[in-house]
């Protein structure tokens, strides 16, 4: 009888964690859907509002600027109001801003809608992984955070397909309305989420935390161990903005920002936003199909990366991915540059181009895609983790916004080829950053990393 009860409560706890993780991961899906929206709809938006090249860049740029703003406030919001309420807020903002954007008829007001959706994306990009890491049992924490990155890539892929299926309508409004489905699902289901036990303890409500833990953990022992661990952590957490002045924090925050800069300036989002343009410029008759393949390779490679990142380690995979993506950028740049005079690409050149574009996506998705987020979640000492992740997430969105806003302008002014050479140069600088300053954080606890950092070790040795 007792065994029956404990096995049914175990199944119950597993179910709740799974359901809760799924709802939080929906935020990742929405993130992917929203950023990829522009790829496939831009031409319709340009037509309706009669946009110049610089204005076209704003369609992606405003969303990303909104995301940087959302990320900036998300740390404070989620500390003050709790993770659950902020997830609900993000879902509300997703739904409301999409409805608003669909109803707009001038470009300026349309951009306000994009900015508002961006705020939702920025908030979700901070709170959902935070919530997942606090709800997940510690054994599956890494996998659940990685699952969030996977959901982003699935969102991007799903949007590419949805855009392809709906492009015959010629209506960017219908193509945007699709996003209402996951937004509303997230909105309704996030009301059923439990609050994060960690946040509840942070607010001193121990009984409530124990009752949440009893729903999401299997037995009394697990509940007590986790409860005491969180309490201890929370007590040690002096935090605050004072930390900004400490030498070790400055070191890791600069590293985090540089890594995010590397992730964006190697050019992944030139593909995520403008692959249709890139393939159309190269004379592909069906750029939509190539774009869908780009999305698929991105998803499949992320699955591979999740499998290997804890086994092989961060740095070897970073070198491997950087090598592939830098070389691919050079080849793509070379092919475009050799047709600067406006001549058409032969079909074998088109195949070569597509192959190296896909290799580029593979190189990114296996390395910089997931690993930069993982490393940025690992290098900060506990008392500054929230702040560190907020600042690095915001940095990611700021650099992302620059790429979103300026890629079309660069394509137009210096050419697609030169732009890819620039991405390759960022990849080369990346080798120096990884070699000289990035630690290997495989097989080491976060507490050990923290001790090494505070003992004054060089950054690249804090994981040894």
Whose CA is closest to 428, among 186, 286, 265? 265
357 to 396: interface string for ligand BGC, x by CB under 6 A: ------------x--------------------------x
d(CA 56, CA 38): 10
Rank residues 244 and 304 by Cβ distance to ligand BGC and give the closer one: 304
Tell me: does residue 266 bind ligand BGC (CB under 6 A): no
Considering the complex, what minimum distance in angstroms separates the CB of residue 38 from ligand BGC? 11
Whose CA is closest to 454, among 184, 252, 211, 224? 252
Tell me: does residue 298 bind ligand BGC (CB under 6 A): yes
- The three-class DSSP label of residue 41 is coil
Residues with Cβ < 8 Å from 24, sequence gap 6 or more? 87, 128, 131, 132, 135, 148, 193
| Stretch of 112-120, 152-160, 205-213, 445-453 lying at the interface with ligand BGC (CB under 6 A) | 152-160
User: Could you give the residue ranges of the DSSP H alpha helices within 282-384?
Assistant: 287-312, 314-337, 347-366, 368-378
Rank residues 393 and 452 by Cβ distance to ligand BGC and give the closer one: 393
Q: Is 323 exposed, middle or buried (0-12, 13-18, 19+ CB in 10 A)?
A: middle
Rank residues 16 and 255 by Cβ distance to ligand BGC and give the closer one: 255
Considering the complex, what minimum distance in angstroms separates the CB of residue 60 from ligand BGC? 11
Tell me: does residue 268 bind ligand BGC (CB under 6 A): yes
Written as six digits, the tokens of 170 are 């010629």
Judge contact between 452 and 462, C-beta under 8 A: yes
Tell me: does residue 243 bind ligand BGC (CB under 6 A): no
Tell me: does residue 33 bind ligand BGC (CB under 6 A): no
- The three-class DSSP label of residue 341 is coil
Considering the complex, what minimum distance in angstroms separates the CB of residue 396 from ligand BGC? 6
Tell me: does residue 38 bind ligand BGC (CB under 6 A): no
d(CA 464, CA 460): 8
| Stretch of 8-16, 45-53, 149-157, 177-185 lying at the interface with ligand BGC (CB under 6 A) | 149-157
d(CA 136, CA 191): 18
Rank residues 102 and 371 by Cβ distance to ligand BGC and give the closer one: 371
Tell me: does residue 97 bind ligand BGC (CB under 6 A): no
Rank residues 35 and 176 by Cβ distance to ligand BGC and give the closer one: 35
Rank residues 147 and 453 by Cβ distance to ligand BGC and give the closer one: 147
| Stretch of 200-208, 215-223, 228-236, 264-272 lying at the interface with ligand BGC (CB under 6 A) | 264-272
H or E stretch at 13: helix 2-36
Rank residues 149 and 452 by Cβ distance to ligand BGC and give the closer one: 149
H or E stretch at 450: helix 446-454
Whose CA is closest to 213, among 230, 226, 202? 226
**Among 21, 269, 367, 393, which residue interacts with ligand BGC (rule: CB under 6 A)?**
269
Rank residues 13 and 368 by Cβ distance to ligand BGC and give the closer one: 368
**Among 152, 230, 261, 318, which residue interacts with ligand BGC (rule: CB under 6 A)?**
152
Judge contact between 400 and 260, C-beta under 8 A: no
Binding residues for ligand BGC, total number by CB under 6 A: 12
Residues numbered 400 to 439 that lie near ligand BGC (CB under 6 A) are 400
Residues with Cβ < 8 Å from 365, sequence gap 6 or more? 153, 297, 298, 301, 302, 305
Tell me: does residue 35 bind ligand BGC (CB under 6 A): yes
The percent helix, strand, coil of the chain (3-state, each to 5) is 85, 0, 15
What is the contact surface with ligand BGC in residues (CB under 6 A)?
35, 152-153, 156, 263, 268-269, 272, 298, 369, 396, 400
């Amino acid at each position: 009888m007792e065994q029956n009860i404990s096995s049914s409560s175990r199944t119950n706890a597993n179910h709740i964690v799974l359901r809760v993780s799924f709802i939080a991961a929906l935020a990742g899906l929405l993130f992917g859907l929203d950023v990829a929206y522009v790829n496939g709809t831009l031409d319709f938006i340009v037509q309706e509002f009669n946009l110049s090249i610089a204005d076209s860049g704003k369609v992606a740029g405003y969303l990303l600027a909104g995301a940087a703003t959302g990320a900036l406030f998300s740390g404070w919001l989620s500390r003050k109001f709790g993770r659950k309420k902020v997830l609900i807020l993000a879902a509300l903002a997703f739904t409301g801003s999409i409805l608003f954007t669909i109803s707009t008829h001038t470009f300026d007001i349309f951009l306000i809608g994009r900015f508002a959706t961006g705020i939702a994306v920025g908030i979700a990009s901070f709170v959902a992984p935070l919530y997942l890491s606090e709800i997940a049992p510690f054994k599956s924490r890494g996998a659940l955070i990685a699952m969030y990155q996977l959901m982003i890539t699935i969102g991007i892929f799903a949007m590419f397909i949805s855009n392809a299926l709906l492009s015959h309508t010629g209506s960017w409004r219908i193509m945007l309305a699709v996003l209402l489905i996951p937004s509303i699902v997230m909105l309704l289901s996030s009301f059923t989420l439990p609050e994060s036990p960690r946040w509840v303890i942070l607010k001193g409500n121990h009984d409530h935390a124990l009752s949440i833990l009893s729903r999401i953990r299997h037995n009394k022992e697990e509940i007590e161990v986790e409860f005491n661990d969180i309490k201890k952590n929370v007590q040690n957490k002096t935090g605050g903005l004072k930390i900004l002045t400490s030498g070790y924090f400055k070191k890791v925050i600069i590293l985090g920002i540089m890594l995010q800069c590397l992730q964006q300036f190697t050019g992944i989002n030139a593909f995520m936003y403008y692959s249709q343009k890139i393939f159309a410029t190269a004379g592909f008759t069906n750029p939509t199909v190539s774009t869908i393949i780009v999305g698929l390779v991105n998803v499949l490679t992320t699955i591979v990366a999740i499998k290997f990142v804890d086994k092989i380690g961060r740095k070897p995979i970073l070198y491997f991915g950087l090598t592939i993506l830098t070389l691919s950028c050079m080849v793509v740049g070379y092919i475009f540059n050799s047709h600067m005079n406006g001549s058409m690409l032969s079909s074998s050149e088109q195949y070569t181009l597509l192959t190296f574009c896909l290799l580029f996506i593979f190189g990114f998705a296996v390395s910089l895609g997931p690993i930069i987020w993982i490393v940025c979640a690992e290098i900060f000492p506990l008392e500054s983790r929230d702040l560190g992740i907020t600042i690095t997430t915001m940095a990611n969105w700021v650099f992302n916004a620059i790429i979103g806003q300026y890629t079309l302008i660069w394509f137009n002014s210096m050419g697609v080829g030169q732009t890819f050479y620039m991405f390759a140069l960022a990849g080369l600088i990346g080798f120096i950053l990884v070699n000289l300053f990035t630690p290997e954080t495989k097989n080491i606890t976060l507490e050990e990393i923290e001790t090494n950092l505070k003992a004054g070790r060089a950054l690249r040795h804090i994981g040894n």
